[in-house]
Structure 1
C-alpha cells in the first residue's frame, strides 16, 4: 500500500493536470442564423464574421452555427441546446430572436449572449446593431438621381424601427435630389424568401417603379431587375457577382471586428453587457463600389456624403423634416436623437400609405 503522503501527492498532480487541461479548452462560441449561410446577404456576412473569429483565434476558439432558424419557439429550443452543450458565448443574429434570447439567458446566467438589432438586455445579454440608415441615405441619393419614372420602391420585411428608418432615410435623400420622386412600399413579412421577394419586385415594377431597395436578405430582387430592367442595391453584402448590371451600389455589414472584440472579452474574462450601435464611421457599415452606370458627378456627390457621415459632419436625419401628417418633427438644423430613431414608428412627409401594425 502506498503511503498517504504519496497518494496525496499523486492526487494533487492529477488535479493539476486536469486543471491545466481545462485551461487549454477552447472558448466555445455559437451563432444562430435566421437564413442560410449561402443567402448572399445578411446571414452570409454574419457567417463571414464567424469565420474571421476562427481565423483570428485559431485553436483557442471553437465556433458552431445553426442556420435557417425561425424566430420564436424554434429559436428558444436552439438556444437552450447551445447553452446546454457548453457554449460560453452565443450570438443571436435577427430581431425576432430578442425574447428567446432574453428567456434562455435568464436560465443560463453563466452563458453570455449577444443579440443583433434588438433593444432588450440583461447582465449576460448585450445588444448590437449597425446604423443601416446611414447607408440608406447614400442609396437614396443614388436612387433619386437614377430613376427615370420618378417612382422608387422598397421591399420591406417587418414593420420594426430598423426597417421604418430605412424607408424614411431612403425616401428623404431621394427626394432631396429629385422633388418629383414617389415611393411605393411593399411589406413581405419575411427576412428571407426569394420567391416572395421576387414577387414583390415584380409588383413594384408593374407599378412603374424603376429603382428598388430591398430590406430582405436574398439576391432575388436584383435577379428580377436584371431580367426585366431597372436598378437596385446590394443589401447587407455587395451582391455585385449575382447581378452586376442593375446593382448601383450596396450597403455592406461588416460584423467581423465586433465579433472578434467580443470573443476577446470572453477569452480575457472581462466581458460585460454593452449596447453597441455603430455605422459608417467605425466601419460596421460599408458602402460598396459605385457602378459605372452612375454619372461621375453623382458618384462624387455620394462619396462626399459617405465621407461626411463617417466624419460626423452630416447626420441623415437633419431638419427640417416633417412627419407624414405634415407636423414638424425636426426644425431647421435639428438632428434626430438616438432614442427617437431607435423607436421610430412613423413615416416622414411624402410617403403614402400606412405602417402595418
Structure 2
C-alpha cells in the first residue's frame, strides 16, 4: 500500500512538472553572429534576456548563435519548431527564404523575421529605420573630418545597407560640400579580420572617419591603432572605445518589440504584421556623443535627432538626385517607404557602382 501511494505521488509530481513545462511559452532566436559580437547579435540577445526578465517562469527562451544564412538556418529553425517553439525570431536578412520555407511546414508556430519583406499568415517582419541614425552620423562625420574623406564598410549590397550609405552621405554633404565617401564591401556581417582589413584599407586611402554596417568592434580597434581616426558604434554602443575613436553610435533596441510580440502569443492576439520603427519609437537610439565632438556640433546633431524623432524632418528630403544625375526627389519632397525598402541606387555624388 505504501509503495502504491509513493508511486502515485511521484506520478502526480511528474505530471505537475510536465504540465508546468507545457504551460510555458517557448521562444526561439536564430542569430547570425555570436552573442559576444558587441554589436548586432549582442543587442538581439539583450532583447531575449529582456523577455526572460519580463515574463519569468512563464517563458523558456532558446537560441542558436553564428548560424550561416542559407540551408543551415533552415535546419536550425526546423529543429526549434520540432522541439516545441511557439514563436521563433530569425534575426538576419538572409534568413528570409528559410523562414518562409519552415513556416509553411509549421503553420501553428509563429515566426518573426528581422529586416526582410516576405510575410505569411504565421510570419511577421520587423526592422528599424537605421537610416535615421545614419543621418545623425553623417551630420557629425561631415563636420569632424579633416581630410574630407569618409570611409564606409558595407556588409552586403542590400537596400538596408544602401539606404544607410545614402543617408550618411546626404547629411555629411549638407554640412561639408567637399566631403567624399569611399566604400569597401566586406561581404560579411561578422568577420573581425575582414572588418579590420577593410578599415585599414580605408584609412590608407585617406579616410579619417570610418562608418560601418558590420557587426564587430574590429574597425574600432583598427581606428584606435591608427590614431586620429574617428568611428561610430554599429548596432550597439561600443562605448569601450569612447571618447575616441568612437564618438557616438547607433543602438538597436529590440527589447520592447520582443516583449510585446511574445506577450501577443501568450494572450492569443498575435497576428502577422510589418513593423518599421525608428528614433521616434525608440527602436533606433543614438549613443552618447562623446566630448571629442565640439559642443556646437553635438548640439546640432541632437537637434537633428529630435526632428527625426518627432517627424518634423525626414532623412530623405529633396532636392536629391540619383547617382546618374536624374531627378529623384524634388525640393521638399520626401521618399516613400516603398522606394526606400527597395533602394538599389546611390545618390548623386557617391563614386562607384552598387555591386550586383
Report the CA distance between 1:25 and its aligned residue.
1.8
The equivalent residue for 1:256 is 255
d(CA) in 2 for partners of 1:23 and 1:76? 26
1:68 matches 2:43: no
Question: Shift in Å at residue 24 of structure 1?
Answer: 6.0
Contiguous gaps of at least 5 residues in structure 2: 1-11
1:298 aligns to 2:297 (yes or no): yes
User: Deviation of residue 242 (structure 1)?
Assistant: 4.0
Contact 1:290-1:299 within 8 A present in 2 as well: yes
TM-score of the two chains, using structure 1 as the length reference: 0.94
What is the DSSP-based 3-state SS (H/G/I as helix, E as strand, rest coil) of the residue aligned with 2:126?
strand
CA spacing shift, 1:247–1:94, aligned 2, 3 Å: same
Residues in 2 aligned to 1:262 and 1:213: alpha-carbon distance in whole angstroms: 32
- Which of 199, 202, 210 is the equivalent residue of 1:201? 199
| 8 A contact 1:226–1:243 mirrored in 2 | no
How do 1:1-357 and structure 2 match up within 5 A?
21=19, 25-229=23-227, 230-242=229-241, 244-357=243-356
SS state at 1:128 partner: strand
Q: Which structure 1 residue ranges, 5 or more long, are not aligned? A: 1-13
**Distance in 1 (alpha carbons) for counterparts of 2:49 and 2:106:** 26
- 2: distance between equivalents of 1:202 and 1:219? 13
Aligned alpha-carbon RMSD (Å):
1.4
**Residues 62-103 of structure 1, C-alpha deviations (whole Å, 9 max, x = no match):** 000000000000000000000100000000000000000000
User: What is the CA distance between 1:21 and its match in structure 2?
Assistant: 2.7
Take 2:63 and 2:246, find their aligned partners in 1: how far apart are those partners? Answer: 30
Q: Across the two proteins, how many residue pairs are aligned to each other? A: 342
Aligned mates of 2:191, 2:243 — CA distance in 1: 21
Equivalence for 1:7: none
Aligned residues of 2:99 and 2:113 also touching (Cα < 8 A):
yes
User: In the TM superposition, what whole-angstrom CA distance separates every residue of 1:298-346 from its partner, at most 9, and x where no partner exists?
Assistant: 1000000010111100000000000001111000000000000000000
SS at match of 1:51: helix
| Equivalent pair of 1:34/1:93 in contact (CA under 8 Å) | yes
Question: Is the Cα contact below 8 Å between 2:141 and 2:209 reproduced in 1?
Answer: yes
Q: Is the 8 A contact 1:223 1:243 kept in 2?
A: no
Q: What is the rounded CA distance, in whole Å, between the counterparts of 1:35 and 1:23 in structure 2?
A: 29
Cα distance in 1 for partners of 2:225, 2:21 equals 56
Task: Judge conservation of contact 2:243–2:292 (CA < 8 Å) in 1.
Answer: no
- Is contact 1:33-1:67 (8 Å) kept? yes
CA distance in 2, matches of 1:19, 1:296: 59
The SS at the match of 1:166 is helix
Deviation at 1:291, TM superposition (A): 1.1
Q: Is the 8 A contact 1:142 1:302 kept in 2?
A: yes
Counterpart contact for 1:152–1:211, Cα < 8 Å: yes
CA distance in 2, matches of 1:272, 1:242: 41
CA–CA separation in structure 1 for the residues paired with 2:305 and 2:22: 44
Residue 36 and residue 19 in structure 1: after superposition, are their counterparts in 2 closer, same or farther (change >3 A)? closer
1:270, CA displacement in angstroms? 1.2
Aligned partner of 1:3 in structure 2 is none
